[in-house]
Every structure is written in C-alpha cells, then in structure tokens.
Chains A and B, each alone.
Chain A
Amino acid sequence: MDAYISVSNLEKEYVTASREIVHALTEINFEIAEGEFVSVVGPSGCGKSTLLKILGGLLSRTSGTCSLKNTPIDGPRNDVGIVFQDPVLLLWRNVLQNTMLPAEILGLDAKKTLPRAHDLIRLVGLEGFEDKYPHELSGGMRQRNAIIRALIHDPNVLLMDEPFGALDAMTREQMNLELQRIWLESKKTVFFITHSIPEAVFLGDRVIVMTPRPGRISEIITVDIPRPRSLSTMGDEMFVELTQKIRNLLYVEGSLD
C-alpha cells in the first residue's frame, strides 16, 4: 500500500491552565493510501479531534512524525480541506459566498472557481439556495454548505471532524449516502471522525478504533463491503459483525462508561 498520509510514533501532550500535563495521544501509528476513506471512531476524550487538528496543521505534535505526500505536516496547507463539527459558516455570507471563501483567501482565479462552486452546489442539491444566508438554511443544508466549502479549492485530502454529529438521525443517514456519493465522484482521501459506530463502518474503507486516557489506537479494522453501499447494507451480516466487533473493542477497554 502506498502511504499518502503517514503517521508514526505520534505523541501529543499539552499543559492545561492548572499546569497539569495531559497526555492526549500516544503511540499513534497508521498510514492512509491515496483515495482511501478512513473512519475514526472512539468515545469523547480519546483525542480524535486533536489527531485531526495535527493532520490539518492546526496543532503541533510533541514527538513522532506526520507526513502528507512524503512532506512533513508543519502547518496548514492548501491541499487539505477541513469540515468541522459545526458548519462554521460565516453568517454574513450566503451559500455561494461561503462556498467561495477558501478560493478568496487563497487568491484563486474566480473565473475558474465560480463555475466549480456552482457545480458543487448542484452536487449537494443546494441549487436555488445560492443567495440564502445560514439563518435561512436547515442544519443539513448548512453542513452540506460546509462540505462543499472544504472542496472548492480541490484539496486532495478531506479531514472531517464529526460533521454530522449535530444532525437528527434521518438527516444523518441522508448525509452519509450523500458523502459516499461525493467521495465516489471526487476520489478524495478522507479522514472521517465520528462517534457513531455504524456511521464509521458504513462510510469507511477502514475504521481506526481509538480508546481514551491516553488516546491510542486500539485496532484498525478493514471494512470489506462493496461500494456503493446503501442503507440496507446496515442489515447485512458482515456489517452487523463489524459493528459488534468494534463495540466489543470499546467495551473491553472500559471506555464506554
């Protein structure tokens, strides 16, 4: 397997306001191939968001190495798009303007990116809402807006931090299907954090299972279910088996209390 993202012996410690040292991540080792969809599942406090921020160049690491396309990650880079737990849309910008934000900041040619923005808006079914502001959109629409904002500058890597955590169950399933479709069309390398075991299995080529205190990888599980997967996949024997296996891993570690 060709390593596109490679993390080895990653450690992260930080000092809290009360001068305590917190060991957030320890002995993190994994590789992600180009175009692969990797889910990360684990309970709160297992350091998954910290891991994502390190990959996004937003946090520094204490020790270990972390590289993308064989260059170390030392800061934010243009070939990475991030989707946060909250959509983090700028409230004074409409759907089109929010989508175009990265293009503006990176100084990309509007002539090229504007048609792309419209394509993306169509891709996630937001056409007709281009001039609507965040307060006029539903939660699902806002998150879709946030996803296409992360795609506008055509990054190779998409980092997603529990993007659907705040959505209701039905919208969430819809978004899972949509994300799979977008991924199949765009073939990005995706690092997807979630709380939900079924979501992790449904979307991932592999699932990284993490346990807390300190955050470490308990196991990496390959999901050998053919694509495109549909919601009925969740009833398949293999799917049920994998989710059960992950659940056991999390319970054995005593982390789901």
Chain B
Amino acid sequence: MNNGQEELLLLLQKAQNEFGYLSEESVAELAKSLALPISDIYGVATFYSFLSTKPLGRNVIRICKSMPCYLKNCQIIIDTVEKEIGIKPGETTPDGKFSFQLTNCIGACDKAPAMMINSDVYDDLTPGKISEILKACK
C-alpha cells in the first residue's frame, strides 16, 4: 500500500531540477525519508530517460531520432550538433554547458527534424539553424 511511494517520481524530478542530477546523497536521503531500499530508488531513477544519476550540463540537448525525424534526415542535425559542441551523444561538455542525448519521439513530428533543449522545443531544423540556437544557450 501507499507509504508515500507514489510521491517518489515527483521527488526525483524535484531533486533533479534542483541539483541538475540525482546524486548518491539525494538518492540515499530519499530512501531514508520514504523508508525504501536504496536499490528501489535507483531502479526508478535509472528507468526513466529524463532522470540522470550523472551530472548533466546546464543545457540538455535532446535530438529526436524517431521515424518522422529520421525520414527528414535528423542524422545531419546530429552530426552538426556533434561538430558544434565537440561531444557525442551521451556525453557532457567539460565546461558543463551542454549535455547531448538522442531521444525517442517528442511529438513534434509535424515539423521534423526536431529537438528539445531543456523544456523548449525547436523544430524544422536545418544545419544552418543549429549554431544560432546553440549560441543563444547560456
């Protein structure tokens, strides 16, 4: 039955928003407050693609690689971003400015290819648009 566990995902999302990722300390703290094994917390924390147990950059770039974006050549967008910020998907820049991930459908297929930076959607992307978008990131 519910011992407050239904709050877990929400609490994880809050912790991630506050600290940028889920540190060992915050996971341990959550385990204690909800009286759950740490392994359960990690189970949930590592299940969802928007949660991270590793530190993330200030700007998390998520390029959609789903079918509609794939048909509209998202590969060239992926390549352009790689070139611009010098890291591959799954990595974070050493200065902590960018994290780069590939993601499944973000529901912006009407104007594929699309990506999200934090919670903002950018669509109808062309390689030319990328550097301007990235420049605007702080």
Q: Do A and B come from one complex?
A: no
